[in-house]
Structure 1
Amino acid sequence: EHIKASGTIREGNSIDEIGLMGTHSKWHMESSVEFERLLASGKILGLSSLESDSKLAHAAGAIADFSPIGDAVDCPFINIATALAFVAKINANDGSELDQLNSGRPDANQAAAAILSSVGDALPTTKALLARIAMLRAFNRRARVALPWLSLRPAQEGSAILGGLCGYGASIERAGRSKDSYASTTQWIQAPSVASRIRQCRSLFFTSVKRSLLFSVVDVTTTPTPLSHDEYELPREVRTVRVNRLKAYRAMASGDDTMCKKYSVFSQLQSEMRSWSGAPLRRGFVAKGHGGQKRAFKVKLIGEGVNDYSGPYREAFTDAIREVTETNEAGHGVLNVLEPTPNTLAAVGENRGLFSFSVGDQQLEIANNSLLRKDADSLVSEEEQLIRRSFSSFLVKTDESWREAEEALMFLGRLTGTACRHGIHIDLPLPLKSVWNAVVEEKTDEADTLKEIDLLAFRQMEVHGNLQDWSTSPLLVTQQRMLNSFVEGMANVIPVELMTILNGTELRGIICGNVEVDVDLLRRVVEYEGYDETDDVIRFFWEALMEMTNQERKLFLQFVWARNRLPLKESDFDAPFKIQKDSKNSGEMADKALPSASTCFFSLTLPQYSCKDLLKRKLSYVINNVCTMESDYITNDAEVSEGWRGL
């Protein structure tokens, strides 16, 4: 019923529109009657229509990710059909349809299987699933045109009559990023609107359609930048930011928290941009010869002989985000911006390796004392208690340390928004439920939210029976308070209002890219200059890269591209990865030379090594020891002295 009116099929037509006519007779549809019958039987048993169609939309999007187009609307339909038939064979539903299917991408088949194989015997026939996905594609084809004209903000939000932004007129998820499930289910009334229905059915839209909407609005909100007289030069409106990475490296290695907070790359960027409004960060200027990289400012690396043709620009984001996730000997964040979650510190739970917003013990104590005490419950009405629980993050008393932390998180949000606007994926391991889901206002169970961050605290509340009143957890309250600052910083640069059409996983993918450095994905976008794919040294290189840990692959990626995260799919790459032959060091000199890279143009210059072990040692050496960019020009004495000046 969600998509019934989105498209029709004329009598006498079939799936010719989507590319299957005459290819596989078993999937041929002769009439609209048969199509409607298959459409009705295409719902997965045991699931609602919305849940079933959402799973199919997710599967279609995952299959399309492995196509060069990367769009489930325009992806060749035979790719989807082949993957679904593969899933059918696994589930032993109609595997006989695979007799004529010898094509297909194994990675796309595996992606579809990971989503649909859990359904088991409840999965309909392949032909019925194809009819359902065909209608989903028709629905999304129309949604791609219609969504820019529709409001994604419910009518009652911002309405003085229905409550206003600071009252119950705004959704609980938006006002304070709170999630009081009791109030939302018993006391909350959402006025019916197109926007609320779009949010409810957000999972029916393909990720590619939602990304297209988001980035189309990002493009039209870009701050205009006039062209320079010299097309190779940046206009004067593009400001220059000076960053001394050499001083930052020494400060971060000193172990002195005061020095780290003063001289880190993150702190230098925050100091340089403290007076900036959001408009300069919304620039998206692309200079000729800069590899197509959009930019808001120019980076001048003090003491390093490199011009900013996009490599130093990306490196500034990568270094700043890396610093906010560095920890000291006590396990706390060095810059007091992010810190490991209690699950990460205690090595418990399934969500290890995540970081939460930095909150000190003193701030937690302040939050705990600010919350509504049990002995005061009798002094206020039940309605007032609901309001206090819903907006408890606003009731926390703050001091100077709170203000500094909120300012740092607001700047982190601005950096995150700028990186997202310019296609730079950053390594920001924040919790899914308490951060990314909250930003897109996706409903999340409070118990699961606490469990993701602090499993021991969840078990303690479970023992005392306090799980229904999540606001008694100072950790969650302070995290929500800090999240407001982070989102406010993002809102300076990108349209966060549109993110409600996404889910938390999709938003995390847009901002952070791929958690794992996918060697197969990198191999699909490579170009060779001076080498062939069959050369021994190329085989040595890919084998060495496959044998590396994910952390080592991140170092390699930063060495060749000045970023440590890959995009999620092939179509998201702006430029191919180039492997060039080192013509200066050939013959016997090749084994003595080191690999080099041009981060601005995503290229690796690789000598023709004689064996894999030698290549692996040389590559490991450069990715672990090269920390400066020295290839464009020879630095003068004054700049060297400024860059290497002692603290």
Structure 2
Amino acid sequence: RFVNLIADSDQDSADSDPSNDEKLNSKVLVGLSTIKNVDRSMRERRMILHQHLNVIIQKILNFIDLSQANTNPWSIAAQLASCRGLISRAVKYKFIDSILKCTTVETPSSGVPKIAVDRIVASAARDKQVRSADYTGAVQNSVFGQAFRQLWSHHPSKLKPPRQPGSRPHISFDVKFKGEHAQGEGGLYRAFFTDIGRELHEILGDDGEAIYTLPLFIQCPNKQSLLGENRDKFIPRPSSTGNLHLTLYEFVGRLIGIATRTGIFMKCDFPSLFWKPLVGVGLTQKDLENIDKSFSHGVLQRLREYTNDDEKSFKSDFGDTLTYSVHLSDKSFVQLRNGGESMPVVFEDRILFAEQALKIRLNESQRQLKAIKQGFTSLIPEELLCLCTWEDLERKVCGKPTIDIGLLRRHTVYGGVDPNAPHIRFFWQVLTEFTQDERRKFIKFSWAQERLPSNDEDFVHPGQQIRLLIKTRQMKDGENPDDAFPRADTCFFNFELPPYSSLEATRSKLTTVINLDAGMDGDVDVDIGDEFGVISDDEDDEDSSLSS
């Protein structure tokens, strides 16, 4: 466990290099020093051995038939899969990216598929849904529903275009927002996936029961019981098993696959119960506890702890409330025998009930997850998943959940402005003082998505180098900079900062813009007007004078 922990921290280091297997970088040494009860020299030797192992794996991966991982338990692929936690993310991600590059399909002369999304209609449908509790119109008019109607008919092979040379963003399809005056591709494309992620997790209201934008995902039971971890996570709705539902789940998988192929981090706040089946790892009671601690501990664990002499305690604890039926995460239920919902469990059946109930709960979303995996693997070769732990896949799809200001600052360049200018220093101080939620809002405002690459290596990935470009916003004659708002070009991750005179002015204006939902044309408020918003994507993405 400690090797995997330190190996993971190693991937966030600027000087991480799995090919350098004879020495450990400074960050790994610091991490190793926190491990107690293991001799220092032993810790370092183990890490050097781990790095040497990854050098060997990196050299042979191209020669291994990974398709045998699930069919031949004696194959090298199966052995690699069994120790996937020891393979560093740097090695995995580099190999995965190389395979994705090799499995692209040339774009036809007509170009990539094109879709048009009306976010104004989607917003109106959400408002109507709250009033009428009608899913039909909301799903059809949601960003997700509009995209489904336009993209589902396209074969997945048409959504695997190669990355184009130059600075053009890597996109699988061209998206336009009706009634919004933004141009370009990259910013709109990222904003589309941000909208999709929001809708998959969106709760419109709670009138005794949560009202969701889409009938696909629900909050974990831990949120309702206020117990355990993952209260902010979502899981597939167990009762959404109709043919249309399963088709929509498959489309969710396709969108996740498209985002992964094109380097877009997508909001997927799902627990291990979601990710493990995708990478072919079995579920345990711990995964159930992570979403429903009340049932896992309060029922299943307690049933197993009774001895044969505890029948009175069993009856005192449960009475007639425990029946031969299992309630799922969305309060639907499965009967273990005919009439089971009204039939109390007898003491002698407690262990059998616990085993059957655990199996049912762990598989309550099996059909939905199978559909999602089918959609995902239509874009991402399934063979690659045997190399990933569930945490690896989550990080690859979602990026790092926290915004590391130090990491962002290392990958910031400046256009025609001194990095030590007062307003630049004010900006970094405010950003450092922001909460994680506020930092995500800033990234969304300036780049149209809420997460950053996980480490230095991902920022400088060949073919898609990512950096924040900060310029000073030019003021008109007589204009007070403290009255102006920052602007952003989301296509190229460019940010224009007025030359504020104080920390307070910087904090005030930056807080205002990140908390306003501007759309893509900046038309937010008559008092702000053109002073605020997102710059058209067709503006220049480079400055004649850049400094890091």
Same fold (TM over 0.5): yes
Query: Of the candidates 454, 476, 485, which is equivalent to residue 362 of structure 2?
Result: 476
- String of CA shifts for 1:514-551, please: whole Å, max 9, x gaps: 11122222112111223323222122212222232222
Kept in 1, the 8 Å contact 2:73–2:79? The answer is no
Query: Of the candidates 207, 213, 225, which is equivalent to residue 334 of structure 1?
Result: 213
Give the TM-score taking structure 1 as reference length.
0.67
Name the CA distance, whole Å, in 1 between partners of 2:39 and 2:277: 32
Residue of structure 2 equivalent to 1:435: 274
Residue of structure 2 equivalent to 1:309: 185
Is 1:208 the counterpart of 2:208? The answer is no
Kept in 2, the 8 Å contact 1:332–1:339? The answer is no
1:500: Cα distance to partner? 1.0
1:359: Cα distance to partner? 2.9
Name the CA distance, whole Å, in 2 between partners of 1:506 and 1:585: 49
Equivalent runs, 1:168-183 vs 2, <5 Å: none
- Assess, with a 3 A threshold, how the Cα gap between structure 1 residues 471 and 192 changes in structure 2: closer, same or farther: farther
Name the CA distance, whole Å, in 1 between partners of 2:243 and 2:475: 55
* Corresponding residue SS for 1:122: coil
Matched AA of 1:338? F
Kept in 1, the 8 Å contact 2:279–2:388? The answer is yes
- String of CA shifts for 1:150-170, please: whole Å, max 9, x gaps: 12234772xxxxxxxxxxxxx
Structure (1/2) with the larger helix percentage: 1
Residue of structure 2 equivalent to 1:449: 287
1:600: Cα distance to partner? 0.5
Name the CA distance, whole Å, in 2 between partners of 1:586 and 1:558: 31
Residue of structure 1 equivalent to 2:120: 246
Name the CA distance, whole Å, in 2 between partners of 1:155 and 1:135: 24
Equivalent runs, 1:219-618 vs 2, <5 Å: 219-225=101-107, 236-254=110-128, 255=130, 256=132, 257-286=135-164, 288-290=166-168, 293-328=169-204, 329=206, 330-360=209-239, 402-432=242-272, 434-444=273-283, 446-458=284-296, 459-465=298-304, 466=351, 469-470=355-356, 474-573=360-459, 574-585=465-476, 588-618=479-509
- String of CA shifts for 1:395-444, please: whole Å, max 9, x gaps: xxx6xxx2222111111110000101111111111112x12222222344
- Assess, with a 3 A threshold, how the Cα gap between structure 1 residues 350 and 124 changes in structure 2: closer, same or farther: same
Matched AA of 2:444? Q
Kept in 1, the 8 Å contact 2:285–2:358? The answer is no
Name the CA distance, whole Å, in 2 between partners of 1:353 and 1:61: 24
- String of CA shifts for 1:69-120, please: whole Å, max 9, x gaps: x443349x66x253455xxxxxxxxxxxxxxxxxxxxxxx3xx25xx624x1
1:492: Cα distance to partner? 0.9
Residue of structure 1 equivalent to 2:26: 82
* Corresponding residue SS for 1:563: coil
Matched AA of 2:13? F
Give the TM-score taking structure 2 as reference length.
0.79
* Corresponding residue SS for 1:280: helix
Name the CA distance, whole Å, in 2 between partners of 1:62 and 1:447: 27
Consecutive unaligned residues in structure 2, runs of 5 or more: 305-350, 460-464, 522-534, 539-548
Matched AA of 1:276? H
Name the CA distance, whole Å, in 2 between partners of 1:81 and 1:503: 24
Residue of structure 1 equivalent to 2:514: 623
TM superposition outliers: structure 1 runs of 4+ over 6 Å: none
Kept in 1, the 8 Å contact 2:423–2:500? The answer is yes
* Corresponding residue SS for 2:488: strand
- Assess, with a 3 A threshold, how the Cα gap between structure 1 residues 454 and 528 changes in structure 2: closer, same or farther: same
Q: State the aligned residue count.
A: 465
Matched AA of 1:206? S
Query: Of the candidates 23, 26, 34, which is equivalent to residue 117 of structure 1?
Result: 34
Matched AA of 2:124? R
Kept in 2, the 8 Å contact 1:202–1:501? The answer is yes
* Corresponding residue SS for 1:300: strand
Name the CA distance, whole Å, in 2 between partners of 1:472 and 1:550: 36
* Corresponding residue SS for 1:430: coil
Bigger CA drift: 502-511 or 245-254? Answer: 245-254
1:569: Cα distance to partner? 0.5
- Assess, with a 3 A threshold, how the Cα gap between structure 1 residues 84 and 526 changes in structure 2: closer, same or farther: closer
Query: RMSD of the alignment, in Å?
Result: 2.5
- String of CA shifts for 1:268-319, please: whole Å, max 9, x gaps: 11111121111112223436543xx211111111111122231101111111
Consecutive unaligned residues in structure 1, runs of 5 or more: 1-50, 86-108, 158-189, 227-234, 364-397, 635-647
Name the CA distance, whole Å, in 1 between partners of 2:386 and 2:477: 55
1:130: Cα distance to partner? 4.2
Kept in 2, the 8 Å contact 1:526–1:579? The answer is yes
* Corresponding residue SS for 2:115: strand
Kept in 2, the 8 Å contact 1:58–1:206? The answer is no
1:61: Cα distance to partner? 4.8
Matched AA of 1:117? T
- Assess, with a 3 A threshold, how the Cα gap between structure 1 residues 511 and 531 changes in structure 2: closer, same or farther: same
Residue of structure 2 equivalent to 1:388: none
- String of CA shifts for 1:372-399, please: whole Å, max 9, x gaps: xxxxxxxxxxxxxxxxxxxxxxxxxx6x
1:620: Cα distance to partner? 2.0
Identity of aligned residues (%): 28
1:508: Cα distance to partner? 0.8
Residue of structure 2 equivalent to 1:644: none
* Corresponding residue SS for 2:266: coil
Matched AA of 1:123? D
> Which protein has the larger Cα radius of gyration, Structure 1 or Structure 2?
1
Name the CA distance, whole Å, in 1 between partners of 2:291 and 2:457: 34
- Assess, with a 3 A threshold, how the Cα gap between structure 1 residues 259 and 84 changes in structure 2: closer, same or farther: closer
Residue of structure 2 equivalent to 1:104: none
